[in-house]
Amino acid sequence: MKISIAMTTYNGEAYIEKQIMSILSQTRKADEIIICDDCSTDNTVDILQKILEREKCTCCQLIENNINQGYRKNFKKCIEMTSGDLIFLCDQDDIWEIKKIETVEKIFRENKNVYALNSAFTLIDGNDQIISYKSRKGFYNHDQIRGKAKVNELVHIDYSMILRYNISPGCTMAFRKNLKKRYVNYTNSVLPHDWELNLLAGMKNGCYFLNEPLIKYRIHGKNTLGMNTNDHLSVLQFDNDIDFRVSAIREKMALIQIVDYWHKRCQIDSKQLKQYNKIKKYDLLREKAVCQYKFSAWCQLLFMTFYLWDGKYVRFKSLFGDLFYVLKRGR
C-alpha cells in the first residue's frame, strides 16, 4: 500500500522539528509527505526546508500558499494533493509513536471494512511532559467517546455516534483513497475535515477507533482540545466573542445541512436514516429553544428525552443547562 501523509502548517516553528522527525523516524516509512504551509509569518518554512534537505527527504513536497486559506480549506487542498492508498492526517506540533504507520497499515490490510481509522493519544504539554487525564465514567479516549473499550481494542463506531460529535482529533486519523475521492469532490469545508471524513466512513459502516495511543497530542498556548463540553463536541474551536452554547448549536445546524447534502449523494440504509431523523428532530428543537429562547421547545425536548430517546446521547445535565440558559437569556 502506498502511504501518504497530509500535513498542514501555520506559524509552527516551536514544535515543527519534533513533529517532522517523528514522521521520518517511523519503522514503516511514508511513501509521500505533502506539507501545505498557510502563509506562516515565522520560521516554519525555513526550518522545514533545512530538515528536509538535511535528511535527504525526497518523498516530501512542501507547498507555500499565496493566500491564507484557513485550516479547513488548507487541509482539503493538502488531502487533494495526496496520491496514496492510505492518507494520514498530521498536525504541526505533535509527536508520532515510532510504529504508528506500521500499526495502522496492518489494520487496514487485515480489515477491508475499515474506511477510516482514528486512534487514542497521549496528552503532553509544551515541554513534552505527559499530562495525566482520567476520563469520566462511561467515556474513554479522554472523554471523547461514550462507552467502554479494552486496551488496544479495535472498536466499530456507530453512525449515530458520529452524528452527535466527532470522536477524536483529526491528527490521529487515517483513511482509504476511495473516501478521499468522495470528500474532495463534494465537500464545501463547512465542517472540520476530520469530522466530515468520519461521517462519510460511518455512512458505509466503516468508521473505527483503535484504543492504542499512536501519537503524543500536544496541549499548549496556541491550541486546545475540546473536552468536557456541555454538548460533548470534540475538537471544535469557537470564537471567544460568541456564547459557547449557541455556538455549539450552530455547529449542529451546519452538521444537519452537511448530512442532508451527503444523504442525497450516498446510499444509506433505513436504520441509519431513522437514527439521523431522530437526532435531527432533537437538534432542531434545541436550536429553537436555546437560540430563540422558546420555553415551549425546551418542554418538547424534555418529552423527547423521557419518552422518545434511548438515553445514549442526551445528558440531563446538558438539558437542564439549556433550561437555565433559556430562562436567563429569555427574560
Q: Are 34 and 78 in contact (CB under 8 A)?
A: yes
What local confidence, expressed as pLDDT, does residue 225 receive? Answer: 53
Band of pLDDT at residue 52, cut at 50, 70 and 90:
very high
Averaged confidence pLDDT in the chain: 87
- Of residues 5 and 273, more confidence is placed in 5
Q: Are 231 and 209 in contact (CB under 8 A)?
A: no
What local confidence, expressed as pLDDT, does residue 292 receive? Answer: 85
**Which one is the CATH code of 3-218: 3.30.200.20, 3.90.550.10, 2.40.50.140, 3.30.420.40?**
3.90.550.10
What local confidence, expressed as pLDDT, does residue 35 receive? Answer: 98
Band of pLDDT at residue 197, cut at 50, 70 and 90:
very high
Mean pLDDT of 131-149: 81
- Of residues 64 and 265, more confidence is placed in 64
How far apart are alpha carbons 79 and 87 in whole angstroms?
Answer: 8
190 pLDDT more than 80: no
Band of pLDDT at residue 308, cut at 50, 70 and 90:
low
Name the residue ranges covered by the structural domains of the chain.
Answer: 3-218, 244-329
Q: Per-residue pLDDT tens for 234-255?
A: 333 333 334 777 888 888 888 8
Mean pLDDT of 25-29: 97
What local confidence, expressed as pLDDT, does residue 331 receive? Answer: 55
Band of pLDDT at residue 232, cut at 50, 70 and 90:
very low
Q: Which secondary structure element, helix H or strand E, spans residue 208, and what is its range?
A: strand 207-218
What local confidence, expressed as pLDDT, does residue 326 receive? Answer: 82
Mean pLDDT of 147-163: 90
What local confidence, expressed as pLDDT, does residue 135 receive? Answer: 78
What local confidence, expressed as pLDDT, does residue 236 receive? Answer: 35
- Of residues 307 and 239, more confidence is placed in 307
- Of residues 144 and 161, more confidence is placed in 161
HSE-CB for 210 with a 13 A CA cutoff: 24
What local confidence, expressed as pLDDT, does residue 239 receive? Answer: 36
Residue 313's nearest CA partner among 196, 207, 164, 157 is 164
Identify the three-state secondary structure at position 188.
coil
